[in-house]
Structure 1
Amino acid sequence: MKQLVIAERVCLTGHILAKAFGLAGILLVIPHAEKLLSFGEIGEKAIQVSMADGGVVDIVLGTIAVSIFAFRTLGLRTWLGFMVPAVLISVGSELLGTSTGLPFGDYSYLNGLGYKIAGLVPFTIPLSWFYVGLSAYLLARAGLGVAKNPSFLRQVGAIALGAILFTCWDFALEPAMSQTSLPFWYWEQPGAFFGTPYQNYAGWFGTSALFMTVAAFMWRNDPVKLERSQLNVPMIVYLSNFAFAAGLSLGAGYLIPVCFGFFGGVIPSLFLWWKAINTDTPVISAATIEVAAK
């Protein structure tokens, strides 16, 4: 167990540092790329590593950190009960979107996020749906006290709230990733909301709500009780990913989308984390016993 905790912390720290490195690279290096290029092959390699490979490393480390966290605190079956539908449903939605325009709109990925599945969707995209999605959903469940009172209304509320938190991350993410000088995807026809179609946000909400619903069904026999300290990792993951997106968008002058995301996602997530202190009490779950026995 101790080794898992160490590995989780190392990967989480690496995830955050990779984001900080990428943010600094995009905001500081790219605008002055000519200075690095003056160093010849070394400068070119530095730009390639920081820009082309940084995003892949960042997302892979985040996936590993959250996977270890979920395995440790929830158990193998509960972790996979979220990860498998999240990855499969999101990659299916992304493949459909890049092929037909539904449910997000007409868009295409560029080459900054790693190998593309079917030549359309970078393999890192469904991984990011998983680890940010799980973080948002756990905060929503804990804040609404689903483990203590798993009523139908609270279950539905947690799914809806988790999907809202997840979608609000995209308010800050979208302008930076598609409208700046270093885009990772582009819209065939830029939309009305700072270059993004409103349809995109409906697609994000619907896709995330769908895999959270499947996860809720898979978790129906597991209370998934988490005490406050166990919610620190989801909270850190959500805030660090939002901070990265907000930094890029603010650097490009996109204040309003960041404000939407901040007031719709960050403030509620902090409130849910705080409220979970009173709703979820420390317990020794079956998942903890299962992992400790190993």
Structure 2
Amino acid sequence: MLSRMSVRAVPGFRTAAIAAWALGATAVVAQIVYSMTAPADRTAMTVLAVVAFAAASVLDAAARCGPRAAVALVAVAGGGGLAAEAVGVHTGFPFGDYAYTGSLGPALVGVPVLVPLAWIMMAWPAALVGRVLGRGWLAVPVAGWALASWDVFLDPQMVDAGHWVWADPTPALPGVAGVPLTNFAGWLLVATLISAGLVAFTRSDGQLRRGPAPVLYLWTYGSSVWAHAAFFGRPAVSLVGGLLMGVVAVPFAVALWRAHR
């Protein structure tokens, strides 16, 4: 079964892993530059960070579990994310009534192409989190939470940047004004469905020792907590997101540390 295949049996895994690390580093640098750039000039860094991170996740999947895992990631997370966003932006289900402003570049079926890439970039690390922290079928809801909780940071940042708007942002999570609860409920639903399609391609044996995906997940968590507290003027989002995403990020960090002792 592919999901149990040794990484060393995957042709070209070393090249894919090295490229994944390089692209992951590019994403991190772009995010750092983003935080030091004037708000009006941040879109280019947003695009670079998402594209590089998404490519790193795809290559990480290929290096760990073979090309079928990479194809599954693009199809399930990219295709599923695009479908969910297209339905959402045209019907209001499952996220709520929202609209993109056109600031994120070219769109497909009303959804910026960058958006399904964002689903791809975090869905793979979240699937690894689910496999490490969850046993058996529990890996799916854990992975779903690992992915959906990230949006507690993402959505306020993107709303403040003017990339999309909500028709009615109430009721909202305490401390996360401007984003309705329906959005987070929709994210949890879609993230769990996507995770169900990806967890089958992951495995728990030694996966923390290879590739950048686990590090990128924890970087996203830590940098999001810091950025909302220090740069974006949203300390309440830093606290709430830190707690909700921290439910999985902190135990995952412990697992990563133990794997590398």
Q: 1:174 aligns with which of 136, 140, 155?
A: 155
CA RMSD of aligned residues (A): 2.5
Task: Confirm or deny: 8 A CA contact 1:168 1:262 kept in the other structure.
Answer: no
Query: TM-score, with normalisation over the residues of structure 2?
Result: 0.83
Give the aligned partner of residue 229 of structure 1: 209
From the superposition, tell whether residues 244 and 271 of structure 1 become closer, same or farther in structure 2 (CA, over 3 Å): closer
Give me the whole-angstrom Cα distance separating, in 1, the residues matched to 2:63 and 2:218. Answer: 21
Deviations 1:192-236 (A, max 9, x none): 2211111100100000101111234x54xx756334322x62232
- 1:254 CA displacement: 2.2
Give me the whole-angstrom Cα distance separating, in 1, the residues matched to 2:146 and 2:219. Answer: 14
Task: Confirm or deny: 8 A CA contact 2:59 2:70 kept in the other structure.
Answer: no
Deviations 1:81-130 (A, max 9, x none): 23311111111110111111110011111233221112x21111111111
> Structure 1: 5+ residue runs without aligned partners?
31-46, 147-153, 281-294
Letter paired with 1:16: V
Give me the whole-angstrom Cα distance separating, in 1, the residues matched to 2:104 and 2:223. Answer: 15
Is 2:86 aligned against 1:95?
Answer: yes
Letter paired with 1:71: A
Give me the whole-angstrom Cα distance separating, in 2, the residues matched to 1:65 and 1:123. Answer: 17
Q: 2:21 aligns with which of 9, 17, 28?
A: 9
Deviations 1:223-263 (A, max 9, x none): 56334322x62232223333454455333432233222212
- 1:76 CA displacement: 0.8
- 1:277 CA displacement: 7.5
Letter paired with 1:163: G
**Relative contact order (C-alpha < 8 Å, sep 6+): which is higher?**
1
Give me the whole-angstrom Cα distance separating, in 2, the residues matched to 1:252 and 1:277. Answer: 29
**Which has the larger Rg?**
1
Percent of pairs with identical residues: 21
From the superposition, tell whether residues 52 and 272 of structure 1 become closer, same or farther in structure 2 (CA, over 3 Å): closer
> Structure 2: 5+ residue runs without aligned partners?
1-11
Letter paired with 2:21: R
Task: Confirm or deny: 8 A CA contact 2:82 2:115 kept in the other structure.
Answer: yes
Give the aligned partner of residue 112 of structure 2: 122
Give the aligned partner of residue 7 of structure 2: none
Query: TM-score, with normalisation over the residues of structure 1?
Result: 0.74
Task: Confirm or deny: 8 A CA contact 2:208 2:214 kept in the other structure.
Answer: no
Give me the whole-angstrom Cα distance separating, in 2, the residues matched to 1:258 and 1:167. Answer: 16
Q: 2:198 aligns with which of 188, 191, 215?
A: 215
Give me the whole-angstrom Cα distance separating, in 2, the residues matched to 1:207 and 1:19. Answer: 25
Q: 1:196 aligns with which of 170, 179, 184?
A: 179
- 1:70 CA displacement: 1.1
Give the aligned partner of residue 206 of structure 1: 189
Q: 1:238 aligns with which of 214, 217, 224?
A: 217
Give me the whole-angstrom Cα distance separating, in 1, the residues matched to 2:195 and 2:248. Answer: 18
- 1:159 CA displacement: 1.0
Q: 1:136 aligns with which of 86, 103, 126?
A: 126
Query: How many pairs were matched up?
Result: 243
